[in-house]
Structure 1
């Protein structure tokens, strides 16, 4: 029954997400809301997955996909702020929440309170980054939020594993908690890097895009399970493998890159939708569990509000204290690049980008049911209830107000746009020079047995093709700020897509009439699809600018 219900939930989540996107609504919040309402409908069964399924099947591909898209060079450039937010602030948040929860909630032991702290500590940058990109948030802020999202997931879930091990009573290879934490970090990074190097080496000798993509799909699960098998952090193994594979993505064929990009985007969306819908559907059963363990719902509501307030307050205090410290050190003549170049408005945006999401919900669902001795896990129901309130509350309060905050503060950076244009121009010059040098070399050293006239004619055709592409790119870039040019570009893409669709319809009609072989049709359609994908990419790029 669970399998059928899972598929029905996935289908419903896809439909709800599509409608939410069309209405310009936040899909995660809509999914959680509808799932919560559905959980109270009479006759709806309790969809419950084993914690190992959530942590071992749902999280690895989500973390791996995010790691693939993040630049290692950008990570290094903003290493200081990313580590401050992704490691130190997560640890501070987890321990402060643990202290507050342990002193306030009698059902929680100190270890269980630390589990709660680890669950609610990591932020989810997806919503903030999506909003920020639409509203012109500077790239350095986007990079810091994205990098933080990767590191804080790994930090929180590693701490989560250590706390769970301590509470449950299971023994790892190392008994001391601090040493165990360090072992988890080192072991996870080592396993992830080793497997990524092996998979990259194997893929480089396949020359088969579907097989290469399949190997990439298996890697996050293999990294997670291999690290967990030796008692190390599976999460860090997945993030490390993703960063390495993303950095070496230029080594694979263009077909593999296009295919992987599409596959991981689909997997990402599918799993995120499912997790939000799944957690929404737990609300009634979480409430029943809280009530069934003798916890007053009024008391539980007070606990939830207090924990939510603590979680939301820690981040602004941490970020703005760092900004104040930076100001003091600046007056003393000390200054560094990266995060220290954020102004106070950008610091405020970063401080408010504390929405919790998929990792918090998935980790809450991953809390074990029983201890090693068979006793129930202390306060599991209250942990899930508080995690639910924190995730929904931050999405509702911070996520809903983030666009207004960015607009009011006007944090766009005109100098960043100039630098981006300079970098784009540099890339075009490098590309053009490399092409011209190669053509000159081919003209001076033509292949054996080929007539010189044929070589010259062919090179001229290649030159015209390159020049046409450069002219089109230059015209598109020049017209970015010209409303008439923007409208002309949009019209061009609309006309080109209409033409391509007409060609496709005519070819299919000819196939259906028996005039055109199906095999021939498929080959021609692949070429049309490639051209239409280029048009779609231009449309998407224009929408992101």
Structure 2
């Protein structure tokens, strides 16, 4: 037991070292960390020493809920609702079409394959994992709407895929298949998952009394995705959808449900959780290659090539075709179709996707660990005691679909976006943020005036004057930024030498304060506990400074 514990610790430490190292390389080269970690996992898999097998139940229960919940917290419920037609088209209809088309392809072209086994494979590889695409997309500055579509699709498609997979596995095992029963199962699982997610989200709301205790609030946040998932699964509905809905509702209401201190700490903890879990997930994908190719001796080369071609071909080709067809349906088939008056069609006030946007969204369909976890849940034998049909072949096809999209599309996604010059208008986004900042300061000044007029005995006029003296220069600074942003060209944020110099000066002043506090500690005038409190104040002040340029 002691040996196993030491080996596990060494593996974890090695994984963390590789994750940190790959992140450093990715930052220096611009290559996506997800693809590099997968290749690193493949390289390690063929080295002598212990390997790690993917446990699908462990992934679906312990890894998937926190990753989905964190992504949901970071998403916009309003933005997803505005683009709901496209999100549902990608996360439900496209996933279903992919599963069915791969199933039909297997039944027609792969010798001895069954429709149910093919649909099971299709369900596993149908849902894209947006982690890699989102990381690259944010880095290269994709427009907010594309980020929303990638996020929304990734949040909702797993529930669709896992439901289809369970139906297909039941049919392949000999339990029979009924289209009405399958549709009913999907509807019940989806509706029940949404209800479970909403119930968990509002069950967390009374815990607002923990606002004054960020540690307890953070513990509740970490436990929430597991509670939602387990509740959904115990009710035999979609636990995945329950996690997503809970995250979306809580993320939408976090400004009023949590204190500032809780939000700061929760954000930091979830960023660390994402960093480690995502890194381990991509390493795990690479580590599975030896296990996947084991047991393929029973298949001839033509069968393997045909099965891989059907799987990868449908995954790569159906997505762009689907996007193009759904965005170019006749106008009469779109509900409440309108326009801006410039000839640009739109649905519900949302413009249709352009050709460049369709290309980028098509290339954002990278598959990930959920596909492998799903395919590894296939049983070894059917209800009749016979081996599950073509299980080893299905494992290989799923792994190839993940590898081709994750490495191939992942490595080329950023160059494609740059080549298409499809970037967000940074100046317009900065302008909106500064308008909101100015509006919030104006609201604060109005409130100060109201308080002053009410003549509260417990409020000192000098305090009001001091607050006004702090807010007024800030409002003037935001207005100067807006004037600068009004003249922005090409969507780029204009750089002001005076503003950059002011930022450098503020950082130098903060450094001087830190050095003085350290000197006090070294000469014994300030205890470490007091130093940490004062350092935290300076850290919060520094955190308000933008990285570069007027934000």
Q: TM-score, normalised by structure 1?
A: 0.87
Per-residue CA deviation, residues 108-154 of structure 1 (Å, 9 max, x unaligned), is 54333222111111123333334444444332222222212212223
Cα distance in structure 2, aligned partners of 1:24 and 1:139: 21
> Which stretch of structure 1 is more off in the superposition, 368-377 or 47-56?
368-377
1:231 aligned to which of 226, 233, 236:
236
Cα distance in structure 1, aligned partners of 2:387 and 2:49: 26
> Which stretch of structure 1 is more off in the superposition, 131-140 or 22-31?
131-140
1:78 aligned to which of 76, 79, 83:
83
Per the alignment, do residues 360 and 436 of structure 1 end up closer, same or farther by CA in structure 2, a change over 3 Å counting? same
Per-residue CA deviation, residues 447-485 of structure 1 (Å, 9 max, x unaligned), is 3355xxxx2211111012112322333444554549873
Per the alignment, do residues 490 and 417 of structure 1 end up closer, same or farther by CA in structure 2, a change over 3 Å counting? closer
Partner of 2:341: none
Per the alignment, do residues 442 and 67 of structure 1 end up closer, same or farther by CA in structure 2, a change over 3 Å counting? same
1:355 and 2:360 correspond: no
2:447 aligned to which of 435, 438, 448:
438
Contact kept, 8 Å, 2:75 with 2:251, in 1: the verdict is: yes
1:303 aligned to which of 296, 300, 307:
307
Per-residue CA deviation, residues 423-468 of structure 1 (Å, 9 max, x unaligned), is 4455245313321221012112243355xxxx22111110121123
SS for the counterpart of 1:531 is helix
SS for the counterpart of 2:50 is coil
Per-residue CA deviation, residues 58-111 of structure 1 (Å, 9 max, x unaligned), is 100111111111111111111111111111111111111122133344575433
Deviation (angstroms), 1:168: 5.3
* Pairs within 5 Å for 1:42-441: 43-106=48-111, 108-167=113-172, 176-204=181-209, 206-251=211-256, 252-291=258-297, 294-296=298-300, 299-326=303-330, 336-337=347-348, 340-369=351-380, 376-412=387-423, 418=428, 420=429, 423-424=432-433, 426-441=435-450
Cα distance in structure 2, aligned partners of 1:467 and 1:368: 67
SS for the counterpart of 1:289 is coil
Contact kept, 8 Å, 1:51 with 1:368, in 2: the verdict is: no
> Which stretch of structure 1 is more off in the superposition, 497-506 or 513-522?
497-506
Contact kept, 8 Å, 2:32 with 2:136, in 1: the verdict is: no
Cα distance in structure 2, aligned partners of 1:177 and 1:151: 18
SS for the counterpart of 2:456 is coil
Cα distance in structure 2, aligned partners of 1:400 and 1:377: 35
SS for the counterpart of 2:49 is coil
Cα distance in structure 2, aligned partners of 1:93 and 1:285: 26
Contact kept, 8 Å, 1:94 with 1:116, in 2: the verdict is: yes
Cα distance in structure 1, aligned partners of 2:512 and 2:385: 66
Cα distance in structure 1, aligned partners of 2:374 and 2:443: 49
Measured on the aligned residues, the alpha-carbon RMSD in Å equals 3.1
* Pairs within 5 Å for 1:494-509: 494-509=504-519
Q: Counting helix residues as a fraction of each chain, which structure ranks higher?
A: 1
Per the alignment, do residues 112 and 483 of structure 1 end up closer, same or farther by CA in structure 2, a change over 3 Å counting? closer
Contact kept, 8 Å, 1:203 with 1:215, in 2: the verdict is: no
Cα distance in structure 2, aligned partners of 1:337 and 1:63: 28
Contact kept, 8 Å, 1:94 with 1:114, in 2: the verdict is: yes
Per the alignment, do residues 304 and 178 of structure 1 end up closer, same or farther by CA in structure 2, a change over 3 Å counting? same
1:523 aligned to which of 505, 524, 533:
533
Deviation (angstroms), 1:186: 1.5
Contact kept, 8 Å, 2:496 with 2:549, in 1: the verdict is: no
Deviation (angstroms), 1:488: 4.6
SS for the counterpart of 2:119 is helix
Deviation (angstroms), 1:339: 5.2
Cα distance in structure 2, aligned partners of 1:179 and 1:479: 57
Any stretches of 5+ residues in structure 2 without a counterpart? Answer: 339-344
Per-residue CA deviation, residues 286-308 of structure 1 (Å, 9 max, x unaligned), is 112334xx234664344223311
Cα distance in structure 1, aligned partners of 2:383 and 2:520: 67
Cα distance in structure 2, aligned partners of 1:60 and 1:104: 37
Cα distance in structure 2, aligned partners of 1:364 and 1:483: 46
Cα distance in structure 2, aligned partners of 1:378 and 1:175: 25
Cα distance in structure 2, aligned partners of 1:449 and 1:40: 73
Partner of 1:461: 466
Contact kept, 8 Å, 2:130 with 2:150, in 1: the verdict is: yes
SS for the counterpart of 1:290 is coil
Contact kept, 8 Å, 1:307 with 1:390, in 2: the verdict is: yes
Deviation (angstroms), 1:496: 3.4
Per-residue CA deviation, residues 476-510 of structure 1 (Å, 9 max, x unaligned), is 45545498734554454444334434433442343
Per-residue CA deviation, residues 235-283 of structure 1 (Å, 9 max, x unaligned), is 0110111111111111111111111111111111211110110110111
Cα distance in structure 1, aligned partners of 2:270 and 2:175: 34
1:539 and 2:538 correspond: no
Deviation (angstroms), 1:394: 1.5
Cα distance in structure 2, aligned partners of 1:137 and 1:511: 46
Q: TM-score, normalised by structure 2?
A: 0.86
